[in-house]
Structure 1
Amino acid sequence: MSKLDLYKVFCTVARNTSFSKAAQELYMTQPAVSQGIMQLERELDTRLFTRTSKGVFLTDEGRLLFDYANSAMNLIHVGEEKLLELKNLTTGELKIGVGDTISKYFLLPYLEEFHNRYPNIKFKMVNGTTLEICALIKSGSVDIGICNFPLEDPALELVPCTDIHDIFVYGEKFKSQLAGTVTLEQVVKLPLIFLESKSNSRKYVEDYMLSKGIKISPEFELGSHHLLLEFAKINLGVACVTKEFSQKYLNTGVLHQVSLTEEIPKRSIGISFLKSVSLSPASTKFVEIIKNQLLD
C-alpha cells in the first residue's frame, strides 16, 4: 500500500477499534487490513496498537499519531468535497463553527439570505467556544468560524465584522448600590456572574480588569449568555454581558446597565478561516453576503 493508504487504514482501525469492522468500512479483507497496520508499524518502528480479545486499542504513540493523521485525512476529504462544490453551488455543504449566542444575535439574517440564494447548499452548524472553533477550522471539521475577537492565531485569516461592547447589568436588588456612576473596583465587591473561564469573551474582560490591577472571583460561572441575563434578572448578582445581545432586557427595564467611570474597550465579532487553504465556493459566497450586507 502507499503511505496515504496506510494512514487511511490506520485511522479507520483506530476509530473502529477493530480490524474486522475497519475491513468492512474499507471494503478490504481483514488480513489485508492487519498487514497494512503491520507495514506501517514496521516503517515507523513503533507499535501503534495493543491487541486484546475485546479489540485493538491505540498505544500512547498511536494516539499521538492519530491526532495528526486524522486531521490530515479530514483535510483531504474536505478538499475532495470542495471540488464537487464547483458545480455552480448546486450541491454541497457549508460547515460553520459558531456559538449559540452569536448564531441568534448576529448570524441568522445571513443564513437566511444565503439559503434564499442557494437553497441546495446544506448547512452544518457546529457549536463551540472560540478556541474550540479555531481547532475545528484547523482540523478541517468546519469551513469557517464566526468568533469573538480579539483572536491571535497565525494560521487563521481574521475578518472583523461588527463591534460589540462588554457591560455589567443588574436587577432591582442592586439598584441602590449601582444607581450612580461607579468604578470597576466597586463592581467587583458585589456577587459577580461571568461566563466560564474558557470563554474568549470572559478572557477579554478578565485580562482588561487585570491590566487595571483588579482580580475577579465570580460567584457564578455559566455556559451561556442567556443564563447570565436570567441569573441577573433574579438578583443573583451583577452579570458581565454583551450589550448588543442584551437589548431586550435593557429596553424593557428588566435589567439595568452599570454606569462605569471607565468603559471596557469595545471588541468585535468576525469571520475566521484557514490562510493556507482556499475557501470553497459556498464559503466564499457566504463571506461575501456578510460583507455586502454590513456595507449597505
Structure 2
Amino acid sequence: MVGKLDLYRVFNIVSKNKSFSKAAKELYMTQSAVSQAILRLEKELEVKLFHRTPKGAVLTNEGKVLNEHVNSALGILDAGENKIQAYKGLRKGELRVAVGDTISRYFLLPYLEEFHARFPGIKLIVLNGTTPEILDFIKSGEADVGVCNLPIDDEQFRVIPCMEIHDIFVCGEKYKRISREPISFDHLMGLPLIFFEKNTVSRTYVDRYFKKKGYSISPVFELGSYDLIMDFAKGNLGISCVVREFSREYLDRGILYEVMLEEEIPSRQIGIVNLKTVPLSRAAEKFVESIRPRV
C-alpha cells in the first residue's frame, strides 16, 4: 500500500506540473524514475494516464478521472497530517479532568486557568465527583486524569502526590475561647462536631486516625459540601473538620478560628491519578507536568 501511495503522489505532481522533468525537480527524483513510476501505475491500472506531447504531459480521460480522486484523497491525507501536527503542538485536542468541588476550587482552578491561557486550542472538560466517582470516570475512559484526595488503594492507578494538606478543626465566634490553647481529644469529642459525610476519603482518613487513638466520632452534622461545613462553623453551629490550606482565607480574615489539638492529625496529600495501562495524551502529559509537586 505504501508503494502504491507513492505512485499516486508522483502521478499527482506530474499532473500539476504537466511535465515529467518539472515533477522530477519538485520530487528530487530523476526524470527516468518519474517516468518509471508512471509506467508502473499505468501497468497496474491497465490504462494510459498521460499523452506525451511536445507541449508536455496531458492527462487522458482516464487520467482526468483518476486525478480527481487522487487530489481528493491526498487532500484528506494532508489534512490528517496537519491535524496530527496540531495535536502534537497542542494547538488542538481535548483534556478531560475529573476532580471534586473542593479541590477544584481551592487547588486546581489556577492550574486550569494557566493551561487554558497557554493552550487555548485544547478543549477542557471537567468532570465533577467524589474520589470513588473520579476513579470510575478514569476506568471507564471518560476522564484522562483525576485530581483527588490520597491515599488511593488501587494498583491500577499511577499516583503523583502534588500537595500536602492538614486536617484541622475550626470554630466561629461563639467557641472562640477554646481556640486560645490546645485541647485534648476528650474535650474535642464533647463538642458538637461537623464533618463531611461518611465514605469520603477525607472523612475516612480522620475517622481512622481517631479510631487508632480509641475514639469514635459522632458528628452532630454530616454535610456533603465543604463550603457548608465552613458556613456551619461560621454560624456557630459547632466545630468543623476542614483542611487548613483550603480554609486559609477564613482563618486569615478572622472569620474562623483554628481549634488546636494537643496532638496534631498527621498530614495527608492530594494528587494526580491516571491508569497505568493507558498512555496519556500530549495534552494530559503537559497538564500533569504543569502541576508541580508541593510536598
Q: Fold match, TM over 0.5?
A: yes
Confirm or deny: 8 A CA contact 2:148 2:272 kept in the other structure. yes
- Contact 2:194 2:240 (8 Å CA) reproduced: yes
Measure, in 2, the Cα distance between the counterparts of 1:210 and 1:172: 29
- 1-side partners of 2:96 and 2:148: how far apart? 14
Alignment RMSD: 1.8
* Matched residue, 1:273: 274
Q: In structure 2, how many angstroms separate the alpha carbons of the residues matched to 1:190 and 1:143?
A: 42
Give the 5 Å matches for 1:81-120: 86-120=87-121
Shift of 1:269: 1.0
> 1:86 Cα deviation (Å)?
4.0
Which residue of the partner structure matches residue 192 of structure 1?
193
Deviations along 1:143-169, whole A, 9 cap, x unmatched? 000011122110000000010000000
In 2, Cα distance between the equivalents of 1:170 and 1:246? 12
* Whole-angstrom CA distance in 2 between matches of 1:176 and 1:290: 39
Aligned AA for 1:101?
Answer: T
Q: Distance in 2 between matches of 1:119 and 1:175?
A: 47
What CA deviation, in whole Å up to 9, does each residue of 1:36-68 have, x standing for no partner?
Answer: xxxxxxxxxxxxxxxxxxxxxxxxxxxxxxxxx
Matching residue of 2:284? 283
Counterpart CA distance in 1 for 2:269 and 2:133 is: 18
Partner of 1:19: none
Q: Supply the distance in 2 between the matched residues of 1:136 and 1:84 (Cα, whole angstroms).
A: 28
- Structure 1 match to 2:152: 151
CA distance in 1, matches of 2:173, 2:110: 34
2:276 aligned partner, one-letter code = K
Q: Residue 232 of structure 1 aligns with which residue?
A: 233
Q: For the Cα contact (< 8 Å) 1:85–1:281, is it kept in 2?
A: no
> Where do 4+ consecutive residues of structure 1 move more than 6 Å?
none
Matches of 2:264 and 2:99 in 1, distance apart?
A: 27
Q: Is 1:218 aligned to residue 250 of structure 2?
A: no
Contact 2:150 2:270 survives alignment (8 Å): yes
Q: Which deviations, in whole Å up to 9, do the C-alpha atoms of 1:221-246 show, x marking residues without a partner?
A: 11111111100001100000000011
* Aligned-residue offset at 1:205: 0.6
1:181 is matched with 182
Q: CA deviation at 1:90?
A: 2.4
Tell me, which stretches of 5 or more residues in structure 1 are unaligned? Answer: 1-82
Whole-Å separation in 2 of the counterparts to 1:215 and 1:205 = 10
Tell me, in whole angstroms, the C-alpha distance in 2 between the residues paired with 1:208 and 1:231.
23
User: Which residue pairs with 1:37 in the alignment?
Assistant: none
| TM-score, normalisation: structure 2 | 0.69
Contact map agreement 2:170 2:259 (CA 8 A) in 1 = yes
Partner of 2:161: 160
Residues in 2 aligned to 1:101 and 1:284: alpha-carbon distance in whole angstroms? 23
Q: CA deviation at 1:137?
A: 0.8
Could you say which residue in structure 2 is the equivalent of 1:142? 143
- The residue type paired with residue 141 of structure 1 is E
